[in-house]
Structure 1
Amino acid sequence: MKTEQLVSTFIEYFEERAHRRIVGSTLLPPPGDPVLFTTSGMHPLTPYLEGRPHPLGRRLVNVQRCLRTTDLEEVGDATHLTVFEMLGTWSLGDYEGPLSLDWGYGLLTEGLGIDPGLLHATVFAGDSQIGPDTASLQLWQDRGVPVELTVEDNWWSNGPVGPCGPDSEIFLWSGDCPPESTPTRDDRWVEVWNHVMMTHRRLDEGSLVPLPQRNVDTGLGLERLASLLQGKSSVFECDVFDPWHRLVPTLWPLDEPSLRLVCDHLRSAIVVLGDGVRPANTGRGYVLRRLVRRVLTVLWRDDPSRGVDDLPVQLVEHTLDHFRQDMRPGDVLRLLLEEERRFRRLLERGRQVLARPRFQGRLTEEDFHYLHDTHGLPREMVTSLRQE
């Protein structure tokens, strides 16, 4: 099943259950949100989760592009991307968690044809403040899905204060053998869908009070599920990366971890540029700058003549089209090239800095922090420059 078909199946399934589709926002969160980028589908809906009536009603469904800087160091494994799409559903004070889970089970097993025997769920076990999520546990037991009870892994919050509640996560088995063990003990269980029951608010002093409006917020990673449905071993092998895998290896011969990082970060940088962010030394612009410079660090490690001006325009066009952005591909390439030139100039200064007597011996952590914070030199590039 291609990703576009997966999206349409998801949307139609929930539209048949009285959900209205809302247009996904850009990567930029709404005013007042403290995060740099939209990290989940719920961010644009925060006012409505707080109780404001939504113009389209109390049952919603959408596709939202997201960016998580917390996953940058994880990129290169089988399941993490910097920019990805999240399929989401919401009940704004309408139905409760068990119905959401029942519909989720139905979509996965009937709508998408997944063998129920390949599913596993996790449920909140309860703690000193809140009891166990017995309603979700009963739903999964009735469906014959094995359940693992956890505490921290199944309590969702949007920060130290604010809306929170238990969640139930659905995992899909990715191993070559019959399913075994549990999600917390075997990483062949891949989390695909999280159903959050926003039932409480955490106050400043840490106590919990019930929310006047109980919501359900679910999020399903599109590329992650697509790769599993397509029988691929990683998100980088699902169909949205087909043109990248076709063109990049012929352009820059790279080992698999480096290829994944380069494809992910360039694709993410294109999307960030397409949403109006420009390279800078702080905030969103610094995240973009870091993405581009991590790519260049990898490319130049083996061949300093490589550059983003080699990037085929087809990859830029494919990415902008997929994320429904109207920026001109030529403008994206121009901005990437300008950032590359800035980085090259920085490295020339970096070589001069590293030539100082202070940096001739073994570098300490303090040295690495100084070189990064004062001169903008990442650890990988410092190490590479000292080996020249």
Structure 2
Amino acid sequence: MTLDEIIRTFLDQYHRRQHTHAPESSLVPPAGDPVLFTTSGMHPLTPYLLGRPHPGGRRLANVQRCLRTTDLDEVGDRTHLTVFDMLGSWSLGDYDIATSLRWGHELLTEGFGIDPGRLHATVFGGDDQVGPDGTALRTWTGLGVPVEVNGAAENWWSNGPTGPCGPDSEIFVWTGDGPPTGTPGTDERWMEVWNHVQMRYHRHDDGRLTPLPHVSIDTGMGLERLELVLTGGADVFAGEGLRPWVDAIRERWPLGGTERRVVADHLRSAVVVLGDGVRPGNTGRGYVLRRLIRRALTLLWRDDPGRSLADLPDEVFAATGRRFRQQPDLPVLRTVLADEERRFRELLRRGRPLVDRVRGRGPLTDRDYHWLHDTHGLPRDLVDALLTEGG
């Protein structure tokens, strides 16, 4: 399946189940939202999970572009991305978790043709505040899917330290050769593709949980991970959405596999963030964007400081805009990237002698890192890159 076919299959399943389309939101949350970026499909729906009636009704589905920086250091492996598409479905106080799991199993096995024997589920086993999720456990057992029972660290979902939260049930698919072995907790070849969350509680500042006005179901499935499962690819970077970037980088610059994947992810993510109106800066969203661009440039310039983002073709930028349902202004986008590249070159020019001087006194301490950052604007990862560069 192509990405568009995967999306259509997903949405058709839920439209047949009377779900209406929830409009996609920007990566930039509305004013007053404390979160820098939209991190999940549920984030824009938080007021409705808390009880406000949604104009589209009680059953919703959509595709939402998301950005997460919590996994930034894991980007470059086979599954993690900074910006990605999330397929989502919601029951706002309508059907229960058992129904959601049964429909999910049906979609994966019948709609997408995944062998039921390649599935494994995890469920919440309870803690000192909430009991075990017996409904999810019984539902999976009845469907013949093996289950691993976990604590809150693995099977409790929240969008932050406070706000709506609840137990979740994650669906994993076996991606190894041969028959499945072990469990998701013991074998990394089990890859998570879909999470079904019961939004049952509101967590307060003091850690208390109080019931929400109604129990909602929030599901989220990463599009690129699902594509990997369906195509049997080696990693998400071989998929339709990342391949243009990987190919363009490979054709121009000889990088190692991990470095090439990180550069592809960070540049693609920067293009999407720019497409939603963010510009590089020293704080907040602008700093996240700046860090993505500069991390990519740090890897590109490690062997050849003469490399430039201007060498990339227009098509990778345009394809990313289409993929994430944006209409980027390519001349403006290129101007912003060129300006950021110029600024970074100047920062490196000024930073090298500073780092060399501090290093001359011995190994850098946390105090040295803080001084270089707070006084001279040199973040820790850049300092480490300069240290590596200098041997």
TM range (shorter): over 0.9
Q: Is the 8 A contact 1:297 1:380 kept in 2?
A: no
Aligned counterparts of 2:337 and 2:104: Cα–Cα separation in 1: 41
Q: More displaced, 261-270 or 365-374? A: 365-374
State how 1:124-163 maps to structure 2 within 5 Å.
Answer: 124-152=124-152, 153-163=154-164
Residue matched to 2:171: 170
Residue matched to 2:314: 313
Aligned counterparts of 1:134 and 1:31: Cα–Cα separation in 2: 40
Residue matched to 2:304: 303
Superposed CA RMSD: 1.3
Aligned counterparts of 2:104 and 2:288: Cα–Cα separation in 1: 34
Aligned counterparts of 1:351 and 1:383: Cα–Cα separation in 2: 9
Distance change (3 Å), C-alpha of 1:373 and 1:230: farther
Residue matched to 2:93: 93
State how 1:33-52 maps to structure 2 within 5 Å.
Answer: 33-52=33-52
Helix, strand or coil: the match of 2:18? coil
Q: More displaced, 361-370 or 317-326? A: 361-370
Residue matched to 2:266: 265
Answer yes or no: is 1:190 the counterpart of 2:191. yes
Q: More displaced, 101-110 or 122-131? A: 122-131
Residue matched to 1:349: 350
Deviations 1:308-337 (A, max 9, x none): 111111111111111121221121111101
Aligned counterparts of 1:123 and 1:328: Cα–Cα separation in 2: 45
Gaps of at least 5 residues in structure 2 are none
State how 1:43-122 maps to structure 2 within 5 Å.
Answer: 43-122=43-122
Deviations 1:346-376 (A, max 9, x none): 11111232353x4314332322333234323
Q: Is the 8 A contact 1:41 1:64 kept in 2?
A: yes
Helix, strand or coil: the match of 2:51? coil
Residue matched to 1:31: 31
Aligned counterparts of 2:365 and 2:265: Cα–Cα separation in 1: 28
Q: Is the 8 A contact 1:351 1:385 kept in 2?
A: no
How far did residue 385 of structure 1 move? Answer: 4.5
Q: Is the 8 A contact 2:91 2:218 kept in 1?
A: yes
Aligned counterparts of 1:3 and 1:373: Cα–Cα separation in 2: 44
**TM-score of the superposition, structure 1-length normalised?**
0.97
Distance change (3 Å), C-alpha of 1:355 and 1:172: closer
Aligned counterparts of 1:273 and 1:342: Cα–Cα separation in 2: 17
How far did residue 208 of structure 1 move? Answer: 2.0
Distance change (3 Å), C-alpha of 1:355 and 1:122: closer
Q: Is the 8 A contact 2:171 2:193 kept in 1?
A: yes
How far did residue 247 of structure 1 move? Answer: 2.0
Letter in 2 for 1:202: R
Helix, strand or coil: the match of 2:63? strand
Helix, strand or coil: the match of 1:140? helix
**TM-score of the superposition, structure 2-length normalised?**
0.96
Answer yes or no: is 1:241 the counterpart of 2:242. yes
Q: More displaced, 347-356 or 277-286? A: 347-356
How far did residue 32 of structure 1 move? Answer: 2.5
Aligned counterparts of 2:15 and 2:81: Cα–Cα separation in 1: 28
Q: More displaced, 237-246 or 1-10? A: 237-246
Letter in 2 for 1:277: V
Q: Is the 8 A contact 1:227 1:234 kept in 2?
A: yes
Aligned counterparts of 1:53 and 1:365: Cα–Cα separation in 2: 53
Deviating above 6 A after TM superposition, structure 1's stretches of 4 or more consecutive aligned residues are: none
Q: Is the 8 A contact 1:30 1:43 kept in 2?
A: no
Deviations 1:291-313 (A, max 9, x none): 01001100110101101111111
Identity of aligned residues (%): 58
Residue matched to 1:204: 205
Aligned counterparts of 1:363 and 1:334: Cα–Cα separation in 2: 39
Aligned counterparts of 1:26 and 1:342: Cα–Cα separation in 2: 27
Letter in 2 for 1:99: T
Helix, strand or coil: the match of 1:18? coil
Aligned counterparts of 1:6 and 1:174: Cα–Cα separation in 2: 18
Q: Is the 8 A contact 1:202 1:208 kept in 2?
A: yes
Q: Is the 8 A contact 2:184 2:191 kept in 1?
A: yes
Helix, strand or coil: the match of 1:345? helix
Q: Number of aligned residue pairs: give it.
A: 386
Aligned counterparts of 2:195 and 2:105: Cα–Cα separation in 1: 12
Aligned counterparts of 1:231 and 1:139: Cα–Cα separation in 2: 28
Q: Is the 8 A contact 1:194 1:220 kept in 2?
A: yes
Residue matched to 1:274: 275
Aligned counterparts of 2:164 and 2:356: Cα–Cα separation in 1: 52
Helix, strand or coil: the match of 1:38? coil
Helix, strand or coil: the match of 2:272? helix
Answer yes or no: is 1:386 the counterpart of 2:390. yes
Aligned counterparts of 1:43 and 1:312: Cα–Cα separation in 2: 34
Aligned counterparts of 2:60 and 2:4: Cα–Cα separation in 1: 19
Aligned counterparts of 1:11 and 1:105: Cα–Cα separation in 2: 15
Aligned counterparts of 2:174 and 2:106: Cα–Cα separation in 1: 17
